[in-house]
Copies of this chain bind each other. A is one copy, B any other.
Amino acid sequence: MFRLTPQPIDTGAARREILDAGAGGYVSFEGWVRDHNEGRQVTRLEYEAFAELAVKEGERILGEALARYPVKHALCVHRVGSLGLADMAVWVGVSSEHRGEAFEACRYIIDEVKHRVPIWKKEHYVSGDSGWVNCERCAAPAHA
């Protein structure tokens, strides 16, 4: 299941959703807001999602992971709204009978989520300006 939330992600609750007595391994990934990106000092981030399609595409990715890797359960929660340094932006958890598949499925999910799910982030910098990540060149007509 893929979820968006404007609240801090409750990893304990998310983890409990994918606990399974038949699973021997569990891998989770957390994406945190870094204090820097591409050489610039970041103070906070804003995440914005096209919610309806984000959930659809996120669910597709989880379905692909479950079909590709023999894992038990997979869950991804993505935060939206304003986040400060070290806040958690995304959480992925996978439980599996064997650990190899759990690592592979978890990595597949976060890689695909980052590339395919319509979520955007705007970085605010110490210098006072801001920019949409992956759109820097496009955002400034002078650079086009």
Q: Which residues of A contact B (CB under 8 A)?
A: 12, 19, 21-36, 85-86, 97, 99, 102-103, 106-107, 110
- A27, B111: Cα distance in complex, Å: 13
**Contact A24:B32 (CB < 8 A) given known A86-B19, A103-B106:** yes
- A20, B110: Cα distance in complex, Å: 20
Residue pair A23, B32 in contact (C-beta under 8 Å): yes
Residue pair B110, A21 in contact (C-beta under 8 Å): no
Residue pair A29, B31 in contact (C-beta under 8 Å): no
This protein's copies in its complex: 2
Pick from B12, B25, B32, B35: contact of A31, CB below 8 A: B25
Most chain B Cβ neighbours within 10 Å, of A30, A31, A86, A102? A30
**Contact A28:B28 (CB < 8 A) given known A21-B86, A86-B21:** yes
Residue pair B26, A29 in contact (C-beta under 8 Å): yes
The 6 closest A-B pairs by CB, nearest first: A24-B34, A26-B30, A21-B35, A21-B86, A103-B107, A28-B28
